[in-house]
Amino acid sequence: MSKFIPNIKQTLKESTPLSTLKDDVAFNAEEQARIAKLLKPLIEIGNNGDEKLNKTLNKLLRQFIWNATEYSDEGSSNKYVGQPYWSEAAILLYLEKKLFDFPSRFKSLRHEHSMPINLIVQIIKDKPDAIAETISKYARAVIVTEDEDRKIRGRKLHNCLSDDFATHGNLLCRYTASDVSAIYDVRKIELINRLITSNKRDFISLINEKKLSQGVTVVKTLFSK
């Protein structure tokens, strides 16, 4: 049996999970600022009482906010890899699949929004003079597993926040209320971050260098795909 996952679990155990999402600078702060500039004239156009136009505006806002959580400052898609916030279960699932089932490594992951997009849309429309601040503060993705996403939906929190948010303003409140595994900022765990972001060849080299699994097994597994 591979010792890879137990070693990853130990690394996480030695790290500190997040208790909240702090107001640190987003990984794509420049992209978020560009999106905020684009949204202001759209909001002004949409605030004319036209119901059909308002529906179209809502669709555009949702897409722009999704982009604000996904795309890097360079314009590349960071739907999963490159995102800073991951649940423990998502980290373990992704790295296990990257090692043993490389083609399906993204299959059971979900790019989840810590504040549901519909709520961000409403805040932007209510506070059109604070679009940049709203996006910077609330447009934060968390990578979770498909099973964890089902837990959130099972608690009916996919489109709303838990009661704890009103009290503490904690963007992780939905995950705590839904029994999602601990959330980590992978940028602060060097080994995990390198394993997640490395290409296939560097991934193998890092596993063998750190003796995270049986080297021969790793090479045969990855290069047979």
Given 3-state DSSP classes, what are the helix, strand and coil percentages for the chain, each rounded to the nearest 5? 60, 10, 30
Q: State the pLDDT at residue 1.
A: 42
The 10s digit of each residue's pLDDT in 154-179 is 999 999 998 878 777 899 999 999 99
At 77 the pLDDT is 95
Q: How are beta strands 85-87 and 109-113 bridged, if at all?
A: unpaired
pLDDT class of 215 with cuts at 50, 70, 90: low
Q: What is the pLDDT of residue 55?
A: 86
Confidence check: pLDDT of 217 > 80: no
Residues 121-128, mean pLDDT to the nearest whole number: 92
Q: How confident is the model at residue 2 (pLDDT cuts 50, 70, 90)?
A: low
74 Cβ neighbours under 8 A, 6+ residues apart? none
| Nearest one of 213, 222, 179 to 6, comparing CA atoms | 213
- Arithmetic mean of pLDDT, 132-155: 96
pLDDT at residue number 53: 83
Q: Facing residues of 111 across strands?
A: 143
What is the tens place of the pLDDT at every residue in 45-65? 776 677 888 888 899 999 999
Q: Where do the structural domains in the chain lie, given as residue ranges?
A: 24-188
Q: Which pLDDT tens digit goes with each residue over 191-207?
A: 999 999 999 999 999 99
